Structure 1
């Protein structure tokens, strides 16, 4: 290395550099040279390459994501919005809740256990960095065909990684999804959500302010694992001709993370921290540049002071490493000793690696030589922005014209019975207990609802019973048929799930999983989904607080279905008034809320019975969703209903079977006059729920629905030990349970 690396770079403009190997395009490399007025040093090139990757810079998605701010509904609950490590909302009584969902898709395909485990670790650190104590996690998952050999490799590892890391942290896993579809065969989606609780005054932000304040790196030592991990893996498609990316996958240590949580929260309580940033994708490159960029000055870093696991690491590798369980804090000089003492108490390695300066540059030194001298904002925030070419797919008209209307329906009750059993036992609708039993749902003692309830629910305050409910949803089949509507349907279902438990939806986080942005059709799908979600949030009054974009989810020309996953958070004043899904009381009346239409396109019925995908997804009516939510919340609060279940994948019959099996009670159903039995059972019309109403509350409940203009129909009664559709079929609960519970263990047990 030259005696002055930065000056040497200026004096050797034509020296070859591996910009392409690091993932930069030629125009991006030229842009870096223009910013610096010279060629970058090797360390600068490493920083720009990871920070300008798709995963870190959002360079293909920024122009569309800005709608979430431009169309944001007025919402008094929002305390911290898009742009910070996680959004924060006011839930009352002085409490704030922060929540966020992110992806760890590509690492989880390469190394399922560590990829999924470190996905949990990363999202938990985002929550800690906001000043909150993590209280729960969730895991929306998508895998390839359930019977494919590679799914048998990926799914058990992913589930074990999520359970192993989350259980060791002592965090309950309260919800999520598991969906199988051949489109995810080479690109499973492993999304992770964490929610944390704090008081309003405890909110912390990622900024380095105060000249002379010290920059402290604390947590695990920096190693060679995860060099360019998520930032590189998530920014390109998989290609069998390329070398293995296995060394790029990070390795997690949940016990180290647990110490990091307690250490950080104690430092917050003692008011020792000015600014804080977790080290996730892009590692130190991200933490230093973002802290400096968000602050009021510059930053000087001595890279020699970074604690290493591998002394052979080059400065470029140290800057790119995504080793886990690390954080950066900005601390006033007078409080450094106290901060370090807390770290020592928790057996957490902590080192002062730099300080805030009065300049406007991020300067990094190695062995006494300056190796980085950059404007930090150009690294962290002002990277390339692309308006990628977009084109509605040429195949979409033909796909939408191929409706489910042509599909054969059951000719009699025996045929309907067989289709119900096929649906209930299909991998997507079957019991997921084999998976969720590997997660601790009740650790910490504040879990009120967890899988398979409509949403997870956590008690926030033990004295007042204030709580929050969270649901994640997303239907890639719907989004394939219409990405604009598909995004709104994901929002609608998640909103409906939260309301069904009695909580009022407040805000959302999203994880937008899409194919390559360099494909005009994939980019069009992404743009339409963003537009749909922004429009939907505006109408429902639920602002986007933050989230994640995961692109390049395809192998060669095989792209995943566009899969916007939407997490909705709601608040409930008293968790003892929650509404579960279980039908538990004989004689209670079953009411169907909402309109049932002939909407079978993209449905579970069309997939399971006919292996068909085509037509248009169910119609979106956000006004109806809002009304339904108000009814469900009021009925829950006022004791008018004892159970509620939203209607979504699989339609009415799937919801009824799940509620019957959960409560151990049967149901006798009667189809309203004039409705086709297939439509009654399997339609996936939106804005609907089935509720169990005590006979003493029937008049009050139906009067409320009528007064507010919500269609309501009595469709049956809780009774017996079978699920029966009058005049068509009867299926004993024992047979339903055996069918529902056998599928996943047979595939993966």
Structure 2
């Protein structure tokens, strides 16, 4: 590790002296791209992050959002006022663990889960759901499969052991991730107004207490490691920068954190992630405009003879830093002991500098760090980097085009669009008994029963005499690298609309979003231009959706000897609806004879292009990106579009819904078919079968007129009939394809079959 010359000069000028070895290491890590967002922060002001629902926005460990009362849960956020929100809060955060997951896929992914869960805990929340969005190289590559299997195993092991359900996410395979996979993990937590904690230190004289596992030498320099390109020998040379997780210790820490919050013992908190103790403690006091004095010898350790720099920068997992009133220290220690966790009083909050003392094997302590906390945490200069705007491809469709049967089968069987059952069956997605809509559908739904109140349901039952209805929390996350590689700005807009459509398919309207912005080496103008495109596209689309972006993560330098990754804007979106029941993404055979299939949503079925589609990925060729709905389209733009789709999904005549996205209508229809229920569909042309314009739902309904009325100005196209033969029959002119349920299952089961 070494501090760059330009940064070294700034630090010397600020301190008036040469930095100590520990200070230089702290500045290198806290001023790294991973911690300071030096190349991305100038762009992030494009995001709108305010709203009545936003209790804590960007800048803390996780965002905090107020949930609407059940009666307002179906109302778009822009149409609510402050009185529509109660005192039940959810936290929402996302982070990346990309480089560690390349070097050590199991531990890299597992500790990514552990880190985002602790971000949730530090806000006084209990974690209730995880989402993971994963990106790998071609599925036919042995290396990609090794990483894929290791990452999924790491996520499932850690999440299952700590008892937090993994309920959704996405998986994409693309050649651009051959040398650098992406592992993006989001977490939702539950808290309320009284339990809320932040990462802002409160008052000089309070104690800083470290609770959790002992500090070791694992993860040293992890922040700086995440801020540079992966080298060819990264798997061996960078392994010490990867943390090693202990999920059983994390589970005890979760429960201990709950007890500490229950007893109102936590004044502020920060989890120990990037840059370890040095990062957590300095950022905690810096946010409060304060300082600290730490005794590094007091830190409980699991390895002998650690030096000051190692104690400060080790990213050993399952550790939390708490600000505690002096009179409460003994009670905190007693609770830590109850849960078999280490506990150290490591220092005091002060109104001076951030100071660390260390003796080690010497008889007397010496000051090894003495810097202004705010300068250390927030003083990194921003980068002013050149960028080149990306170009979009011309239309060059494959010649000759494959038959409809060949094209449909190849798209259904593509690893990126195929069934992900092999993945989510490894996750315990029902622990906690909140999961009302399970993985494999467009969005997960979590039952927030704490919102069930007498005011919203005086009889204690719903209108049908069933259980009382609270707020259903809908969750979706993901990105499509084919889209954003073809056209970064338009592709990122489509990612936002696609995730919002996932929520709408289950009858939910967006509440807020967090993003994980992944890019290559920003010092390359074309790479930075693509990254700028995804930031602007995501920001514009979320503004058009009236959805504040309340937090996120940036991961740059995802570059290797294989080249840069496609710009990848993972968006995690959270939405609300009244009640927990939603139409499934599976056709209802019992109502086959008296129902129809409709396509409802943005644009015309035959009006798009094929750019970024799985069809072109399978057959070759290029094309412009499909035209997206304008923000001005309709009276409220994209927000009204999504609200109308959600209203269609909630209508009593709606039996099944599924969004149109990866693979187009061909894949959406194949996913709707069951062993008993099939579909007989006719389309105007081939483009209609494979274009991937988001903002559209396939709807099985018993009342097409009612759906058309709800849709208003949105196009509604009759696709065909629901059948009772469990087969998909798709016709385009004189060309047709027929696949029964077994054939579809075989095509979609490529991942499970190959990895069995």
TM-score, normalized by the shorter chain, greater than 0.5: yes
3-state SS of paired residue (1:365)? strand
Match of 1:699 in 2: 705
Residue pair 1:237, 1:516 contacting (<8 A) in 2 also = yes
Residue pair 1:46, 1:319 contacting (<8 A) in 2 also = no
Match of 1:234 in 2: 226
Residue pair 1:481, 1:617 contacting (<8 A) in 2 also = no
Aligned pairs for 1:387-536 (under 5 A) are 387-393=384-390, 396=391, 400-401=393-394, 403-405=395-397, 407-410=399-402, 415-461=403-449, 463=452, 464-536=469-541
Match of 1:58 in 2: 37
Match of 2:741 in 1: 733
Gaps of 5+ in 2: 69-85, 360-364, 453-468
Residue pair 1:640, 1:693 contacting (<8 A) in 2 also = yes
3-state SS of paired residue (1:27)? helix
Match of 2:545 in 1: 540
Deviation at 1:613, TM superposition (A): 4.7
CA distance in 1, matches of 2:752, 2:542: 38
Aligned mate of 1:311, from 304, 315, 318: 304
Deviations for 1:660-685, whole angstroms, at most 9, x for unmatched residues?
Answer: 13x741111122xxx21x12211212
Task: Evaluate the alpha carbon distance shift between residue 240 and residue 436 of structure 1 in structure 2; reply closer, same or farther with a 3 A threshold.
Answer: same
CA distance in 2, matches of 1:510, 1:540: 15
Residue pair 1:621, 1:687 contacting (<8 A) in 2 also = no
CA distance in 2, matches of 1:363, 1:664: 69
Residue pair 2:179, 2:562 contacting (<8 A) in 1 also = no
- In the superposition, the TM-score normalised over structure 2's length comes to 0.90
Aligned pairs for 1:266-281 (under 5 A) are 266-281=259-274
Deviations for 1:85-114, whole angstroms, at most 9, x for unmatched residues?
Answer: 111111124211111111000000000000
Matched, 1:550 2:555: yes
Aligned mate of 2:356, from 364, 389, 406: 364
CA distance in 1, matches of 2:611, 2:288: 51
Deviation at 1:55, TM superposition (A): 0.5
Match of 1:375 in 2: 372
Aligned pairs for 1:251-290 (under 5 A) are 251-290=244-283
Match of 2:456 in 1: none
Deviation at 1:47, TM superposition (A): 0.8
Deviation at 1:745, TM superposition (A): 2.7
CA distance in 2, matches of 1:296, 1:60: 25
Match of 1:16 in 2: none
Aligned mate of 1:690, from 677, 698, 704: 698
Residue pair 2:277, 2:311 contacting (<8 A) in 1 also = yes
CA distance in 2, matches of 1:511, 1:613: 27
Deviation at 1:149, TM superposition (A): 1.5
Deviation at 1:334, TM superposition (A): 1.1
3-state SS of paired residue (1:626)? helix
Matched, 1:615 2:613: no
CA distance in 2, matches of 1:162, 1:139: 8
CA distance in 1, matches of 2:752, 2:720: 33
Question: RMSD between aligned alpha carbons?
Answer: 1.6
Task: Evaluate the alpha carbon distance shift between residue 83 and residue 422 of structure 1 in structure 2; reply closer, same or farther with a 3 A threshold.
Answer: same
Residue pair 2:500, 2:573 contacting (<8 A) in 1 also = yes
Aligned mate of 2:24, from 45, 51, 65: 45
Aligned mate of 2:652, from 627, 639, 642: 639
Match of 1:602 in 2: 612
3-state SS of paired residue (1:409)? coil
Residue pair 2:208, 2:324 contacting (<8 A) in 1 also = yes
Match of 2:83 in 1: none
Deviation at 1:643, TM superposition (A): 1.2
CA distance in 1, matches of 2:666, 2:431: 33
CA distance in 1, matches of 2:218, 2:278: 15
CA distance in 2, matches of 1:604, 1:196: 35
Residue pair 2:600, 2:645 contacting (<8 A) in 1 also = no
Deviation at 1:60, TM superposition (A): 0.8
Deviation at 1:535, TM superposition (A): 1.7
Deviation at 1:620, TM superposition (A): 4.4
Residue pair 2:544, 2:638 contacting (<8 A) in 1 also = no
CA distance in 2, matches of 1:196, 1:313: 35
3-state SS of paired residue (2:507)? coil
The more displaced of 550-559 and 630-639 is 630-639
Match of 1:7 in 2: none
CA distance in 1, matches of 2:679, 2:619: 24
Aligned mate of 1:745, from 706, 731, 752: 752
Match of 1:582 in 2: 586
3-state SS of paired residue (1:34)? helix
Aligned length: 702
Deviation at 1:75, TM superposition (A): 2.1
Deviations for 1:613-655, whole angstroms, at most 9, x for unmatched residues?
Answer: 5533543434454333222222333323121111111111101
Deviation at 1:244, TM superposition (A): 1.0
Deviation at 1:296, TM superposition (A): 4.2
Match of 2:640 in 1: 627
CA distance in 2, matches of 1:453, 1:67: 31
Match of 2:294 in 1: 301
Matched, 1:714 2:718: yes
Match of 1:159 in 2: 152
Task: Evaluate the alpha carbon distance shift between residue 617 and residue 27 of structure 1 in structure 2; reply closer, same or farther with a 3 A threshold.
Answer: farther
Residue pair 1:117, 1:165 contacting (<8 A) in 2 also = yes
Gaps of 5+ in 1: 1-20
Match of 2:7 in 1: 28
3-state SS of paired residue (1:356)? strand
Residue pair 1:477, 1:613 contacting (<8 A) in 2 also = no
Aligned pairs for 1:73-152 (under 5 A) are 75-92=51-68, 93-152=86-145
3-state SS of paired residue (1:373)? strand
Deviation at 1:557, TM superposition (A): 6.5
3-state SS of paired residue (2:7)? helix
Residue pair 1:53, 1:232 contacting (<8 A) in 2 also = yes
- In the superposition, the TM-score normalised over structure 1's length comes to 0.91
The more displaced of 161-170 and 144-153 is 144-153
Aligned mate of 2:215, from 213, 219, 222: 222
CA distance in 2, matches of 1:353, 1:406: 65
The more displaced of 281-290 and 231-240 is 231-240
Aligned mate of 2:340, from 337, 341, 347: 347
CA distance in 1, matches of 2:158, 2:399: 45
CA distance in 2, matches of 1:509, 1:374: 32
CA distance in 2, matches of 1:404, 1:200: 56
Residue pair 1:301, 1:354 contacting (<8 A) in 2 also = yes
3-state SS of paired residue (2:704)? helix
Residue pair 1:488, 1:620 contacting (<8 A) in 2 also = no
3-state SS of paired residue (1:592)? strand
Match of 2:72 in 1: none
